[in-house]
Amino acid sequence: MSQSGVNEDLERGFEEFESGILWIRAHFEELKKQYPDQLIAVREGKVIAHSSDLNSLLDMLDPYGDETSHMAIKFIPSQPLNMVL
């Protein structure tokens, strides 16, 4: 693959990831009700897998192969997280 092809693939992956993160933000309250204290994987504006265990979630994503790196994966807490700075 040429350098420009690699760059295009990376750019597409970043755009898909960013789109997933924005979708999660826009739907966070709904996601909190449906997937409390779970990890979710988002692809093309849809939750395609969820689990309370990261290894289980990754196993569910195996069929997607390299596309997994373009997905937004986020933990959805049921309660606000307290941060200590």
Which H helix or E strand runs over 45? none
The residue among 30, 20, 26, 34 whose CA lies nearest residue 74 is 20
**pLDDT interval class at 2 (50, 70, 90):** low
Tokens matching residue 37: 């204290």
Nearest 5 degrees, angle CA 43-CA 71-CA 13?
105
Q: What is the pTM of this model?
A: 0.84
Q: What pLDDT was estimated at residue 39?
A: 98
The domain limits of the chain are 3-76
Q: Tell me: the pLDDT tens digits for 13-68?
A: 899 999 999 999 999 999 999 999 999 999 999 999 999 999 999 999 999 998 88
